[in-house]
Amino acid sequence: MKDLDVTKTPLKGTFKVCPSCGYQDGFHAMFDRIESSEQGECRWLLICPSCHRVFDIGLRARIA
């Protein structure tokens, strides 16, 4: 997803409250394949259900 606006956010403690809008009940998840990865790695991104901002806190997953 080349046009995806992702905010990189360092994980400091618990990441449950949206830093953009203050929504307090956690996030939805989405996966974005890293094209340069030969092992099928993807970014595990978090989406605020309220303001729909997408955050990258550094989570990665490998798809078998």
18 part of a folded domain: yes
50 part of a folded domain: yes
What's the domain count of the chain?
A: 1
Q: Which helix (H) or strand (E) holds 20?
A: none
The domain in which residue 13 lies consists of: 6-62
15 part of a folded domain: yes
Residue 62 has pLDDT above 60, yes or no: yes
As a dihedral over the C-alpha atoms of residue 42, residue 43, residue 48, residue 52, rounded to 10 degrees, the angle is -80
C-alpha–C-alpha distance, residues 42 and 1, integer Å: 12
pLDDT at 2: 58
Residue 64 has pLDDT above 80, yes or no: no
- Render pLDDT for 21-50 as a digit per residue (tens, 0 to 9): 999 999 999 999 888 777 789 999 999 999
**Portion of the chain with pLDDT greater than 90, in percent:** 77
